[in-house]
Amino acid sequence: MKMRQPNILITGTPGVGKTTLGKELAQRTGLAYVNIGDLYDGYDEDYQCPILDEDRVVDELEEKMTHGGVIIDYHGCDLFPERWFHIVFVLRTDNTRLYTRLESRGYTEKKLRDNVECEIFQSIYEEAIEAYKAEIVHQLHSNTPEDLESNLEQIVQWTKQWIKDHN
């Protein structure tokens, strides 16, 4: 079956703006938006974070992804099959801004430090490069409202071109 619309992965450290970008992108393109964070199964008290059954999530999304036209938002990317995505965007945020955003969410000191370190060491970008073909992985700055608007315009244009090229 030929896909009529692309699948897009938006990934990055918590607090970089994935959900804001993903929801707005879905509105502007008409693609379906899925926040993997809405599919959690439980809670890890040690790390104070939700637990995800990765196999269940992949099984649940398989048919939807096969049809195309889906934007996935998640802070990890190596759990998804490579064949699902036509493009992957890794959002990056300045560490000071990221710290402030996560602090405003009430993150513990350990969780703040872990996430800022993750951003400093480009952990999500490295994970994306290992999980997908390098040519489909793109880093986008996500510091200001202007960055958000620029990213939206860029991805909307890419989406229109993909649809034109594949239909």
pLDDT digits (tens, 9 = 90+) for 88-143: 999 999 999 999 999 999 999 999 999 999 999 999 999 999 999 999 999 999 99
For the stretch 113-125, pLDDT in tens is 999 999 999 999 9
Q: Which residue is associated with the tokens 């939206």?
A: 152
| Dihedrals phi, psi of 34, to nearest 5 degrees | -125, 120
Distance CA 115, CA 122 (A): 11
Query: pTM for the complete prediction?
Result: 0.94
48 pLDDT exceeds 80?
no
Distance CA 122, CA 139 (A): 10
Distance CA 108, CA 7 (A): 34
| Token pair listed for 38 | 């809405």
Alpha helices in 14-144 (DSSP H): 18-29, 54-67, 95-104, 109-120, 123-131
Beta bridge partners, 140, equal 91
